[in-house]
Amino acid sequence: MCRHVDPLDQIFHRETLTPHGIALTAISEQRGLITWNEDWVDVIFSEVDAGIAQANCVTDQPFSDAVALVKADLVKAGLAPDSVYKLDKKLQNQASPFGQDPLETTTNKGSTALFVGDESHFLWPEAIEAAVKLLEALGENPVLISRGKSNGFLASSLGLLDTARKQASTILKELEVVGASKLVVLSPGDAFTFSNLYNERLGISWPDTVEVVDLITLLANALSSGEISFEPAVTDKTSAYVDPTHASRAPNRYESPRLLLRAILPETPLELFWRKKRTHPVGNTSLQFTHPELAKALTQGRLEDARSRGIEVLYTEDPSTLFHLQNHAQEYNLEIRGLYEKLEASLSS
């Protein structure tokens, strides 16, 4: 099993927080060995949904997708935690749980679209301007879409599948209006949602005419080919790259952000213990709404990993991961910096 890398088990050492404990709970109910009550439902909704189980298990079964279906059944039966229904009610009235800015669907046309979403818009907006400038350095003129709108991952992770499908439909309609053949995303979570989750969890086909492109991978390829270059910064602080939440769902891009970070720092960054395939998420999953204490512990675990290795500055690109790390960084005497902003500031003139 994948217990040896399970993030919550590493922190709490509690069987019911492991993939094995969650799966055993679901199977026990199906076989009539237990009856759903508040405690057993709590076990199901403690699933992290960050891809760790599937990436590290001896099988490749879609564990989180299966748990999402169990959650959906609990939602329909009226047995889900109150926080889930409150969030669903909020999502019926606004496009994101993180804010209520007036949102306009773009009518601009272009071959390249940049998915902004709600996490970068509300939680780490600095990444958006930096990403646009980096794309312009590659000769792209991106059309920004879905500013402030959830991509449906969060709702799906809570078993709110109908709500997730509505959110997905909104994004696909906007993408169709733009007419883009390429959708650039800022995080592995967005890439996974569009490339995998829509089809596998929501039953929604991604348009064959639109390629989902990870910006970090795009930049790393451009750096390797000489299409773009950076000037290393001058710093004497010990730095490291922290793999963002959902990084384990995109194994082909582990080296790309590290290549970029080495290009802009005078010395090779250090590595955290929990990294790449076995990376741990921070608290920016559905746990932040159903189990905020677990979400906080996940974030603090990443920061403690850094502090224990003498690291002073952490870099990553995912806006939501940055936001959660920043919320607790002061407690660990750490600086949190966005990789896109650092790359944009280091572009060779």
pTM: predicted TM-score of the whole model, two decimal places: 0.94
Number of domains in the chain: 3
Of 34-48, 103-117, 270-284, which has the strongest mean pLDDT?
34-48
**Is the predicted pLDDT of residue 341 greater than 50, yes or no?**
yes
- Is residue 93, in this structure, part of any structural domain at all? no
**Do residues 41 and 151 share a domain?**
no
Q: Do 232 and 332 fall into the same domain?
A: yes
pLDDT in tens, 280-338: 999 999 999 999 999 999 999 999 999 999 999 999 999 999 999 999 999 999 999 99
Q: Which of 189, 221, 253 is the last residue of a domain?
A: 221
Query: Tell me, what's the pLDDT at 1?
Result: 47
Q: Which domain holds residue 118?
A: 112-221
Give the model confidence (pLDDT) of 228-242 as tens digits.
999 998 877 999 999
CA distance 255 to 258: 5
Q: Is the dihedral of CA 172, 50, 70, 42 positive or negative?
A: negative
Identify whether 161 is part of a domain: yes
Residue 102's pLDDT is what?
Answer: 63
Report the pLDDT value the prediction gives residue 253, as an integer from 0 to 100.
95
Stronger pLDDT, 6 or 125, i.e. the higher one:
125
Confidence of residue 9 (pLDDT cuts 50, 70, 90): low
Question: For residue range 14-26, what is the model confidence (pLDDT) as tens digits?
Answer: 777 788 889 999 9
In-domain check, residue 249: yes
Share above pLDDT 70 across residues of the chain, in percent, rounded to a whole number: 95
